[in-house]
Amino acid sequence: MLIYLRVLRESFNFAINALKNNKLRTFLSLLGVTIGIFSIIGVLAAVDSLEREIKGSLSALDNSTIIVMRFSFGPTDIPQWKRQQFPDVSYDEYQFLKRNLPNTESISFTIGVPDESIKYQDVTSTGVGVGAITHEYYDIEALELEEGRFFNESESVSGSPVIVLGHEIANNLFGGLNPLGKEVRLYGRKLTVIGVLKKQGASLFGGSRDGQVFIPANIARRVYGDNNKGVFPQLILKPEDDVDNAEYMAVLEQRLRNYRGIKPGDINNFFVNQLQGFADLIDNITGQLNFIGLIISGFSLLVGGFGIANIMFVSVKERTNLIGIQKSLGAKNKFILFQFLFEAIILAVIGGLVGLGLVWLGSIAASQFTGDFEFVLSSWNMFIGTAVSAVIGLISGIIPAISASKLDPVEAIRTGM
């Protein structure tokens, strides 16, 4: 064990001397490894950060959550012209499933509507996201209130003129004033503020609730009607815990087919989407991005590997006399082999660490410039970068190390003189 530590120490010293004595040559040779590691870890970190941001925007909803609508989350064999003929889900279907679908913890009817302007006295907020929902959505997404309350079942069913504000909208309209009980104007109607949501923070994909307001879905139904293709009604269902989701979705599908009178053999004119499937789609996309990034970065590492091999061949030639002396004093081939292998690995790791440092600096800069998007360099990606560097050094140093270990001591001393 001690001999390996000695070899490692000597190899480290040789590697540092190579950096000191031949700065330009070593820098140019390590540049390939540095660029390769920067490219690989930069891609991995960027994709990981993007995936974390996307999934973070979905984290409020459980992966078992099911969304029924006339659109599909993923690819489908049904042609677009046929999908465009599908009817929207309806409020009556929501009531039917609420009464007749077993093993359902919550079901909410929501309507995706265009952004609107909301006004309080002389202050107006524009581009406000409006969540037209039934009261159950509060529990499905586990929304948190800073003050006040959410609308109840009675207010939801009757479409009472009440509204819950996101944190940013409340600040824009009321500043430091208490908004509860105040009347705001939306859709030309006066709505009473009954609650304000806790601050959530901005999201890259606009998923933050801070810039949204929530109203009973029946208010939006009165404004837009039930057959308006400019809005997107959905049913959001949360199954009970420990329920087999595949079986639950099959029952849901059959109940809705029966309600719509779809004949056996005919395709569904609706889609049953599960958030888990959307999460799997994200994983698939990010996996492909990682793979493409690795392929492109691999070319840089290939160049870097040749650079490390070049350094090591030059190092063997410069130290031929020293190798002969070491062998004449009893150094075994294995000792010489490990000495050069460790040196190659150390040089490659140094190049890799420089690449990681550049990624780290880049992540700080990217996070500053993108504002709400946090670019994160994880410890796992740092480990991958270091490990890949070591492997490149190992592979690149094998042939020079073998050639050094097989030198004849007499010839080596004579050649080095």
Closest CA to 391 of 349, 350, 360: 349
Q: List, for residues 361-373, the tens digit of each pLDDT value.
A: 877 777 676 555 5
| CA 271 vs CA 89, 125, 131, 257: distances in Å | 10, 35, 21, 11
Averaged pLDDT, 8-15: 66
- Please tell me the predicted confidence (pLDDT) of residue 371: 54
What is the C-alpha separation between 395 and 412, in angstroms, rounded? Answer: 25
Decide if 179 contacts 125 (C-beta within 8 A): no
Give residue 32's identity as a one-letter amino acid code.
G
pLDDT of 189 > 70? The answer is yes
State both tokens at 182.
């105040």
Give residue 271's identity as a one-letter amino acid code.
F
What is the C-alpha separation between 37 and 297, in angstroms, rounded? Answer: 8
Which sign, positive or negative, has the C-alpha torsion 150, 154, 157, 162? negative
What is the C-alpha separation between 107 and 129, in angstroms, rounded? Answer: 22
Averaged pLDDT, 108-133: 91
383 or 91, which is more confident? 91
Averaged pLDDT, 75-87: 83
**Nearest-5° Cα angle at 8, 3 to 14:** 125
- Please tell me the predicted confidence (pLDDT) of residue 344: 80
Give the Cβ contact number of residue 285 at 10 Å.
14
| CA 75 vs CA 50, 52, 69, 346, 353: distances in Å | 22, 23, 15, 48, 42
Closest CA to 185 of 209, 161, 168: 161
Which residue reads 């890949």 in tokens?
Answer: 388
- Please tell me the predicted confidence (pLDDT) of residue 211: 87
For residue 76, the SS3 value is coil
Q: List, for residues 194-251, the tens digit of each pLDDT value.
A: 999 998 765 544 457 888 999 999 999 999 988 888 899 999 999 988 888 889 999 9
Which residue reads 């039934």 in tokens?
Answer: 134
The size of the chain, in residues, is: 417
pLDDT of 25 > 80? The answer is no
Decide if 237 contacts 136 (C-beta within 8 A): no
For residue 169, the SS3 value is helix
pLDDT of 66 > 80? The answer is yes
- Please tell me the predicted confidence (pLDDT) of residue 216: 95
333 or 219, which is more confident? 219
Closest CA to 276 of 90, 84, 62, 80: 62
